[in-house]
Structure 1
Amino acid sequence: MPRFPDHGEDRGAANGFSRSEDDRGSSRRGLNGRRDGNNDYDSFSDADYDRLMEYPDDVDYYSLLGLSRTPPPSDVDIRSAYRSLTLSFHPDKQPAHLREAAKQQFEKIREAYETLIDPKKRTVYDLLGAEGVRREWSAGGAMGKGGAAEQQQVGVKALGPEEFRRWFLDTMKARERKVLDSLVQSKGSISLGVDATSMISADEEEDYVYIQLPTLRPSSYAIGYSFRTPLPSFKELLGRVDEETENENEESENDNDPSKQAIQSEVTFSASVGGKLQNPMREAKFVYPDGTEEVKRVAMPLIMIAQNVSLGASINHGFRNVASTKGLFGKLPFSFLEGADASVTGLILPFPTVEAVVAKAISPFPGTKPLIFTFRTGFFRSIFQSLPVIGLQVTRELDAGRTIYCSWSSGSLNWPAFIQELLSPIVDLSVRLDDVLSRPTQMSKVEIGYISAPRKSTTAEEEEEDDEDDDDMPVTRKREVGAAESWQLQVDASPQGGGLSVVYGRNLFSHKGDEKLRSEWSTEGYHPISQDHAARPVRLEIQSTVGIDLSPGWHISGTRQVSDFTRMGLGVGVQGNKGLVMSVSWNRLGQKIRLPIAVCPLPLVSAEIAALAVILPWATYCGVEFGVIRPRERKRRRLALAKRQRQLEKQIAKRRAESQQAVDLMSEQVLRRQAREEENGGLVITKAEYGYYPPRDKKKNTGESKVIDVTIPVAALVDHGQLIIPREVVKFQIIGFYDPAPLRPKKLKIWYRFGGKEHLVEASDSEGITCPMRSHLI
C-alpha cells in the first residue's frame, strides 16, 4: 500500500521554508511578498490593488466538485462527482469524532450540487454567483415570492434552459432600466448669475488697475425642468402585426436581435424660465427729527424679469419592424421609415411652435459606412404667413470616434409674391405686422464641422481581447486612451455673420479617464462594471471662437468627478458684453447647478487680467489636489490594503484548518482506492505539492517558497486510472486544497506511478492537467 505524507507535513523545507516561517511570515511580509509599511503600500500598482481587493472569498462550485465550466458539465458528470464526494464526506460514513466536520463539508458539497444540477439555478450562478442565487430565490427576487416569475402568465418553471436564460436576462435588464429611470427620468437645471464686476476697477489717469473686495449682486437667473414618461402605443392607427400564434415562432429570434426589438415611445415635458434680477431704485424723502428733509435714491425689493419662458413637450419614437406591419403603414413610402428615429416637439410658450425631426442612416454602397440624414422642419409662424423652416444635416463617421457633418437651414421665408397674389382672393399669405416683432425671425445658415471624440471605453467582452494585446499596444496609443483627447472644429455662416470655433479637451492628472455609465446587462449576459481605483482625472476643455470681424472669444473649463455620479467644475472665459466671467458648476444625474460670476467688465479685460483669472484658480486647485486630495486618497488606500491583507491572513488560517479536516475525512477512502490502482498497475499518486515556487533568478529577492502537501486531495481526483484537472478549475478551491500564497503565481507538481514507471507533471494555475501521459516520464 502506498504511503502518503500527512497533510500538515511541511513540503517546503527543502526550499528554505518551514512551518514556523509560514506562520510568522505574515507579521513581517505582506501577502505579495513585500514588507508591510506605508512605502510598500504606496508601491502597489493599480493591478495589484485590484487583484487584492477582488480576491475571491466564496467557494467556486465547479472547482469544489472538480468540474469544468466549459464545456458545461452534463447532469451525469455532476451526479457522478457528487456521488464520489458523498462516499468520503457523508456524515453517516464517518466516525463520531469526525461527524461534525463531515457535516460542514457535506453541506457545502450538497449546496454546490443542488445549484448546478438545477438548470435555472446554474444559469443564475454562472451570471451572478452563489450570492446571486440566494438573492434571486429569496423573497423579492426574480424567482422568489412576489418576484417576476409569479407575475408571468406562462409559468417560468416550464421554460427550457435557453428560454429561461433569455427571460432572466430580460428581467434583469428591465429591473436595471427601472432603477436608472428612477435616477435620470427627470432633469433639472438652476443657473444664478452673480455680478462681481466691482472687484476690478481702473484709474484712467494713472493707468492703474485696482483689485478690491467685491460687492456681490444677483444679476440673472434661469430655471429648467423636464421629465419623460412612456407613451402608449396606438396599434389601431399603425396597423396590427401578425397574430400572437405567428409571433411566438419569431419571438426568440427577435429577442436576440436588438435591431428588431420594439422601442418604447416616450414623451418628454419641459418647462423653463429665465431673465434678469434687478433692484429698482426709487427716490424717497426722509424727514429727520430736527425737521430737515433729504431726498435719496433707495433700492426696492428684488424683482424677477422673465425674458425667456418656454413650456412644451416632445414625443420620440423609433420605427422598428415596419415591414411586418399590416395595412397602409407597411407599404411604400411609409416602409422607408424602417430603422428611422423621429421626434415631434411642440411649444405653447413663448408662442405656439411645432417642429418635426426624422433621422435615418443610409448606406450609399453596400459594405460602406452609412450616411446619417437628419431632416427637420419647423412651424414658427402660421402656415398662412410664412413657409416652414427646413433644415438638413448629413453626418458620416470616418472611423471610430471621428465624424464630419454638414448642416443647412433655410431660415424664415415668406411665401413667393406670385403665390400670394394668386391666392389673395382666397387667403392672405402676407406676414402680419403685429407678428413681426413678437416672433423672432429665423436666419438661414450653413455649418460644416469635424468631431474627434475620445476613444470609447472597452466593454466587458472586449477587455479580455484587449488584455492579450496590451503588451503590443504602442505607448503613444496608451497615452491617447488615457488622455481621452477630443477635438471639435466648426465653421458657420449666415446673413448675420459667421465664425470659426475650435474646442479641445483632454484628461489631466491621471492615465485613466472616467468610464461612462453603461448597462451591465445585455442579451449576451452580465458584464459588471469594474471598480476603478485609480486617481480621478480632471477634464480640461478649451474653447476658442473667432467672428467674421476677427473678434475673439475664449473659455477654459475644468471638471472633475467627485463621487460616483457627481461632477464639479470651474470655468473662466469672456462671454460677450458680460466681460470676464468665472463659472462654478455642479452636475449629478441630469441635475445641474451653475453659478456664472462676472468679475471684470469687458472694457477692462486685458491679457494680464485674463492670465491672472486662469492661473490663480489653477494653482489653487493643484495645491488642493496634490496637497489634500491625493494624500487622503493614498491614506485611504493604505488602510484598505492593510485591512484586506489582515482578512486574507485570517482566511488562510481558516482554510488551512478546513483543508486539514477534509483530508482527514477523505484519507481512508482515498487510500483504499489508491491500493486498488496499485494492484491493477493503474495511476498511483506518490506525492503532490501546490504553492509558490520562487524563480531561480537569484538577483531578485522574490521571497521564500510557500508550498503545501496535496497528495491526498489529488489522489481523490483519480477516477478509473485517470486524473483530469480542467484548466478552468480554480485549483486552490479543490477540496483539500487552500491558497498558501494569495496573489502569487503558484504551481501544482504531481509525482505519480503508472505501469510501474515514475512520472512527473507540473502546471500553473492557468493550465490543466491530464494523466497519465508519456511526456511525463522521468
Structure 2
Amino acid sequence: MSSFGQDGARDFRASVEDDGLDGDYSMVDDHPEGPDYYILLGLSRNPPPTDAEIRSAYRNLSLSFHPDKQPPHLRHAAESQFRHIQDAYDTLIDPKKRIVYDISGAEGVRQEWGQLGAMGTGGEAQQQNVGVKTMSPDEFRRWFLKTMKKRERRTIESLVSSRGGITLGINASSMVSVDEDEDVQFHIPSPQISSYGLSYKFDTPLSLPQFWDTAEKESDNQDAEADSAEDAQDEGSEAAHITLSAGINGGLGRPVKKFQVQFEDGTQEQELITMPPILAAHNIQLGASVFPNMKNLVGTKGIWAKHPFSLLRDSAISFEGLLLPSPTFKANIVRNFKPLSNVLPIQVVATSVHTRSLSETPPSLEVQLVRKLSKKKHGVISWSSGVIEWPGFLLGWFPSLGMGPQSAVRSANELGHFQIGLISRPLSPESEEAEEDDEETGDSDHDEHHHQSKKHKHLMNKSGESWESHLQVSPGGGALVLKYSRNLFSGKPADDPVKTEWSSEGYFPMPNMDEARAIRLEVSSIVSSDLSLNWTIKGTRRVGEYTRMGLGIGIAEKGMMMTVTWRRLGQNIDLPILICPASEATNGATALTAMFPWLAYCAIEFGYIRPRDRKKRRKAAAQRHRELKKLIPKKREESLQAIELMADQVQRRQAREEAHDGLVIVKAEYGYIPPTNKKAKDGFTEPRVIDVTIPVAALVNRGQLVISKKSIKFQILGFYDPAPLLPKRLKIWYRFQGRDHFVEAGEKENISCPLRAHFIST
C-alpha cells in the first residue's frame, strides 16, 4: 500500500472533484469512530439475528480471540479485540439493550443504562407504574421512544418560554411607480408602518376527573401499550392539556391637525402638523382550546368498549372557545373509519360551530373527509353549512326563534361552501427508510433499470415535491386554488421538519447544518370565478438549527406585496410590505418586481454563500483526512493481529467447505482503485488496497457470504481503511462447486456469494 506525500492534504482537496465527491461530503459522516456491533459479530441487521445466531457468532469468535487461548505475544491484542466482542454480545443478546442500540448506538446504550439514564438510577424506568423489566420487546420499544420524545420536548421547550407572533405591515408603495406609458420606475422608498398584529399562546396541563378505578386504569394502560396503532394515533396528545391564546391586530393612524397661524404683519396661514400615531384595534381575540385524551378520561372497559360509545373513546376530540371578538364555541372530533377490511381508512373530521344563541340559529356544521389514495396522494372533500336558519314551521310554533336584523346583517358573509381537492405530499424520512428496507435484497446481480428507478425515486423524495389543487364552490362564487412547492438547489431540504427527532417509528436526527442548504420554493395562485388572479411566490431557507427565514412576493387585493418572515420554535415575525398599489400593478411592474429580489438573492447565494461554505467543507474534509491518515499505521497493526488470531479457525472452516464443494474464499482485496474513465490526480494514480482474504472467509456462515450495503465495510473484523474518505471497493475471488467466480461491490452495495447463477444442478 502506497502512502500519501507531504502534500497529501492539498492533493486530497483537489481530488475531491475528480473522484466524484464534489458537493457530497457524506463520506466524512460515514466514517464513525466506534465499531458496529452487528458487523463485529458478523451478523445481519435485516432480518434481525436470533439469540441462537448471536450466541453462535460469539462462540466462534471466542475460539479465535479469547485471551486465555493465545500465545504471550498476541495476548494484549486479543484482550483488546475480545473486549469489543464481549460488549457487542452483551448488548445484542439483551433485547432491550439491542432496541436502544438500534436506535441510538453504543453511546445511547451507555447513556441510558448509566446514572440518570432512562434505565439507570433515578431514570424514567423507576418511575413507571408497570415495571419496564416485564415489558415485551415491542412494548419496551414503544415505551422508550415515547420517553425519549418527552425528554426531547422538555429540552426544546426550555429553549423558548413562549409561542407567539409579531406582524408589522409596512407601506413602501413609493418604491415602484408606473407612468402613463407603463414604464416601470424604481425609487428609494420612504417606508412607514401601517398595521400591526400580536399573538400569544401557551399550553398548560389540564386535570380532569377520572371515571375509573386504579385497577382498571392499570389494565387500560397495559392494553394501550400493547396496541402500537393506538399509541401512534395518541402520540401528540398523551395527556389532557389546554391552550390559551390571545391576539390583537389593527392599523396605525397618523392624525393631522390644522392650525391657523397669524404673523406680525397680520397675514394668516394654515399649517398641517402631524400628531403622534394612534393605534386602532380592528380585531381582538381571546380564547382557549381544550384537548382531552378520551381514552385516559373514560377508560377502555365497560360501556366504553361497546358501540357506539367506542367511537368517542377512539376519537381525537377538542373544544375551542372564543370570548372576543364575539362568543364562539367549536367542538371537533376526528376519527378514522374503515368501510371495508381491504381498503384504506377514511379520516373524518366533524366540527360544530356555535357563533350565536340557539334561539337565533342552530349551530353550523363542517365535515371533512380525507382518504389516502397512494403513498403520496390524498383526496380531500369538505363541506360547510354556513349559517342555518330554523325551519319555517318552527318559527310559526315558537315566535321567539329567529335572527334579528343585526344578526341577519352580520351573517351575510357566513356562507356555506363545498370543496374538493387532491394533495400530494413528500414521503417522510421513516417512510423512505422502510421502503428501502423492503426493496433491499441479498443478491448483488440486481437489475440496473430497477436501481436507476430507485435512485430517481430517492431524488424526487429528497426534493420534497408537493402540490395541492382545490376547487371551491359557494353561493357567493367559486375559486380554483393551486399550490406547488419543492426544494431548489442542492443541499439538505429546507422544508419545515417535525420539531421532534423522535417518533413512534424511531429516531431521525435533523440534517447536519454544516452541509449545503436548499431553498424551499412555494408557489400558490387563486383564480376566482370572475377570472381575477392572486398569486404568491415564496422562498424559505434554514439559517440556523431551529431558525428559518423566508422572502416572498405576490399580488393581493391591496397590490404588489413583499413578505419577509422569521420562524423559530413557534415564534414568528412577519413583515408584509406593500411595494406597489393595486392601481399601478401592471404586468410589467409585476414581472420586474418579482424578478429583482430573486436575482439579488441568487447572486448572493451562488456568488458568496455557496463558495464560502464549499471552502469550509473542503477544509474540514482535509482536516479529517489528516486525522484519519495518522491512524492508518495503528489500524494496520490491529488488523494484522486480528488476522493472525483468526487465521487457524478460518482455515479449518474453509477446509471443511472445500471438502464438501462449498464456498471457499480464494482471495479478497479491499481499498481505493483509481478511476479508469479519466486521468487520476497526482498522488492518486496508484491503488491503495489491502488483503482481506481471512476476514472475508471468516464471514462465511453455512456455505453463504452476505454483506449488507448498510454495513461499513472497513469496520469488519480484520479490515481497516487504507484510503480514508476516498471511494473504495471490495473484490472477492471464490470457488464454489469446483468452479471459480468473482464478485465486486462498492461501499454501499450488497454482496452475496454464491450467486444463484453459480449453482450447478445435480
Length-normalised TM-score, structure 1? 0.78
Partner residue, 1:638: 618
Partner residue, 1:431: 403
Shift, 1:653, TM fit: 2.4
Partner letter of residue 350 of structure 1?
Answer: P
Match of 1:36, SS?
helix
Shift, 1:635, TM fit: 1.4
Q: Distance in 1 between matches of 2:457 and 2:156?
A: 33
Alpha-carbon deviations, 1:160-218, whole Å to 9, x = none? 666654543443343344445656995322110111223345666x9876543222211
Work out whether residues 9 and 622 of structure 2, in 8 Å CA contact, stay in contact via their aligned partners in 1. Answer: no
Indicate how the Cα distance of structure 1 residues 215 and 287 shifts in structure 2: closer, same or farther if over 3 A, else same.
Answer: farther
Q: Distance in 1 between matches of 2:376 and 2:38?
A: 41
Q: Indicate whether 1:375 and 2:350 are aligned.
A: yes
Shift, 1:99, TM fit: 6.7
1:622 to 590, 602, 605: 602
Length-normalised TM-score, structure 2? 0.79
Work out whether residues 199 and 214 of structure 1, in 8 Å CA contact, stay in contact via their aligned partners in 2. Answer: yes
Partner letter of residue 646 of structure 1?
Answer: R
Identity of aligned residues (%): 38
Shift, 1:445, TM fit: 2.7
Q: How does 1:438-517 map to 2 (within 5 A)?
A: 441-459=412-430, 460-465=433-438, 471-473=451-453, 481=461, 484-510=464-490, 513-514=493-494, 517=497
2:549 to 558, 568, 583: 568
Larger radius of gyration: 1
Indicate how the Cα distance of structure 1 residues 147 and 101 shifts in structure 2: closer, same or farther if over 3 A, else same.
Answer: same
Q: Distance in 2 between matches of 1:505 and 1:686?
A: 52
Q: Distance in 1 between matches of 2:457 and 2:715?
A: 39
Shift, 1:522, TM fit: 5.1
Shift, 1:59, TM fit: 2.0
Shift, 1:376, TM fit: 2.5
Partner residue, 1:704: 686
Indicate how the Cα distance of structure 1 residues 463 and 290 shifts in structure 2: closer, same or farther if over 3 A, else same.
Answer: farther
1:545 to 526, 537, 557: 526
Match of 2:451, SS?
coil
Q: Distance in 2 between matches of 1:330 and 1:251?
A: 13
1:658 to 600, 617, 638: 638
Partner letter of residue 424 of structure 2?
Answer: A
Indicate how the Cα distance of structure 1 residues 615 and 655 shifts in structure 2: closer, same or farther if over 3 A, else same.
Answer: same
Q: Indicate whether 1:298 and 2:278 are aligned.
A: no
Work out whether residues 182 and 586 of structure 2, in 8 Å CA contact, stay in contact via their aligned partners in 1. Answer: no
Alpha-carbon deviations, 1:446-485, whole Å to 9, x = none? 2333233243244222234467786242898677545544
Indicate how the Cα distance of structure 1 residues 655 and 748 shifts in structure 2: closer, same or farther if over 3 A, else same.
Answer: farther
Shift, 1:542, TM fit: 3.3
Indicate how the Cα distance of structure 1 residues 127 and 434 shifts in structure 2: closer, same or farther if over 3 A, else same.
Answer: closer
1:135 to 111, 114, 117: 111
Q: Distance in 2 between matches of 1:399 and 1:715?
A: 44
Partner residue, 2:445: none
Match of 1:59, SS?
coil
Partner residue, 2:628: 648
Q: How does 1:304-315 map to 2 (within 5 A)?
A: 304-315=279-290
Indicate how the Cα distance of structure 1 residues 247 and 366 shifts in structure 2: closer, same or farther if over 3 A, else same.
Answer: closer
Shift, 1:277, TM fit: 0.7
Q: How does 1:28-39 map to 2 (within 5 A)?
A: 28=8, 36-38=12-14
Work out whether residues 261 and 268 of structure 2, in 8 Å CA contact, stay in contact via their aligned partners in 1. Answer: yes
Partner residue, 2:315: 340
Q: Distance in 2 between matches of 1:261 and 1:737?
A: 46
CA RMSD in angstroms, aligned pairs only: 4.8
Runs of at least 5 residues in structure 1 that lack an aligned partner in the other structure = 1-18
Partner letter of residue 128 of structure 1?
Answer: S
Shift, 1:222, TM fit: 0.9
Match of 2:618, SS?
helix
Q: Distance in 2 between matches of 1:147 and 1:85?
A: 39
Runs of at least 5 residues in structure 2 that lack an aligned partner in the other structure = 442-448
Work out whether residues 491 and 517 of structure 2, in 8 Å CA contact, stay in contact via their aligned partners in 1. Answer: no
Match of 1:378, SS?
strand
Indicate how the Cα distance of structure 1 residues 344 and 671 shifts in structure 2: closer, same or farther if over 3 A, else same.
Answer: closer
Indicate how the Cα distance of structure 1 residues 400 and 182 shifts in structure 2: closer, same or farther if over 3 A, else same.
Answer: farther
Q: Indicate whether 1:243 and 2:219 are aligned.
A: no
Work out whether residues 165 and 200 of structure 2, in 8 Å CA contact, stay in contact via their aligned partners in 1. Answer: yes
1:40 to 16, 20, 25: 16
Work out whether residues 402 and 450 of structure 1, in 8 Å CA contact, stay in contact via their aligned partners in 2. Answer: no
Indicate how the Cα distance of structure 1 residues 118 and 78 shifts in structure 2: closer, same or farther if over 3 A, else same.
Answer: farther
Partner letter of residue 403 of structure 2?
Answer: V
Q: Distance in 2 between matches of 1:347 and 1:750?
A: 75
Q: Indicate whether 1:49 and 2:21 are aligned.
A: no
1:279 to 254, 258, 266: 254
Alpha-carbon deviations, 1:198-242, whole Å to 9, x = none? 3345666x9876543222211001111222344445432xx6798
Partner letter of residue 739 of structure 1?
Answer: D
Q: Distance in 2 between matches of 1:372 and 1:592?
A: 30
Shift, 1:692, TM fit: 3.6
Indicate how the Cα distance of structure 1 residues 581 and 745 shifts in structure 2: closer, same or farther if over 3 A, else same.
Answer: same
Q: Indicate whether 1:589 and 2:569 are aligned.
A: yes
Work out whether residues 226 and 269 of structure 1, in 8 Å CA contact, stay in contact via their aligned partners in 2. Answer: yes
Indicate how the Cα distance of structure 1 residues 359 and 750 shifts in structure 2: closer, same or farther if over 3 A, else same.
Answer: closer
Shift, 1:618, TM fit: 1.9
Indicate how the Cα distance of structure 1 residues 172 and 614 shifts in structure 2: closer, same or farther if over 3 A, else same.
Answer: same
Q: How does 1:65-214 map to 2 (within 5 A)?
A: 65=41, 70-74=48-52, 76-77=55-56, 80-81=59-60, 83-85=62-64, 87=66, 89-90=67-68, 95=72, 104-105=80-81, 107-116=83-92, 118-153=94-129, 156-157=132-133, 164-179=140-155, 187-201=163-177, 211-214=186-189
Q: Distance in 2 between matches of 1:528 and 1:100?
A: 38
Partner residue, 2:720: 738
Q: Which moved more, 1:187-196 or 1:258-267?
A: 258-267
Alpha-carbon deviations, 1:256-299, whole Å to 9, x = none? 65468685344222111000011222234668899997652212
Shift, 1:386, TM fit: 2.7
Shift, 1:706, TM fit: 3.3
Alpha-carbon deviations, 1:80-137, whole Å to 9, x = none? 34642454x35x9664x77766654554455445445555444433433222222222
Partner residue, 2:670: 691
Partner residue, 1:3: none
What count of residue pairs does the alignment treat as equivalent? 728
Partner letter of residue 72 of structure 1?
Answer: T
Work out whether residues 510 and 534 of structure 1, in 8 Å CA contact, stay in contact via their aligned partners in 2. Answer: no
Partner residue, 2:537: 556
Partner letter of residue 488 of structure 2?
Answer: L
